[in-house]
Amino acid sequence: MTEPLSADMFPGPGCGDRPMPFRVGDKWTGWVLRCLDAGPRRFSELRVPLHWVTPKVLTETLRAMERDGFLTRTVHDERPPRVTYELTLLGRSLIGPLDGACAWAREHAPEIAEARGAYRS
């Protein structure tokens, strides 16, 4: 059994101290990859740390990730039905590059914030 995901896992998409100058797949794929890193999760579990993502957009992201081979969707033969999402080997292979990109973003956060501020001016 994996630990529950925290609602505070991500501070929010508009948080200035956590720049996201890169994307894997679409806007939310990197966030979902991080949520699934520890093991399979149900949709409702993913909604906890990704509470600002609408259910419709999260569903679209999960479908796109399944289509691209990043995760598997398993429907368990239970009543009521239970569905879990889990990273494939391909999806898991993105964790290392994602970690590297996050480290790069942390290192260059002041420069990114400065560039964004100059752009708005």
Residue 18 lies in a domain: no
**Segments forming the whole domain that contains residue 93:** 29-120
Question: Does 8 have pLDDT greater than 80?
Answer: no
**pLDDT at residue 16 tops 80:** no
Burial class (CB in 10 A: 0-12, 13-18, 19+), 101: middle
Assign residue 61 the CATH number of its domain: 1.10.10.10
pLDDT exceeds cutoff 70 at 44: yes
Which has more confidence, 112 or 25?
112
Domain assignment of residue 51, yes or no: yes
The predicted structure's pLDDT at residue 83: 96
| 97 within some domain | yes
User: Average pLDDT, stretch 39-50?
Assistant: 96
Instruction: Tell me the pLDDT band of 15, cut-offs 50, 70 and 90.
Output: very low
Residue 23: inside a domain: no
pLDDT of residue 12: 55
Q: Which amino acid is at 89?
A: L
| Prediction pTM value | 0.77
98-119, pLDDT tens digit by residue?
889 888 888 998 999 999 899 9
* 27 contacts: CB under 8 Å, gap ≥ 6: 61
Total domain count, the chain: 1
pLDDT in tens, 45-94: 999 999 999 999 999 999 999 999 999 999 999 998 899 999 999 999 99
Three-state SS string over 52-113 comes to CCCHHHHHHHHHHHHHCCCEEEEEECCCCCEEEEEECHHHHCCHHHHHHHHHHHHHCHHHHH
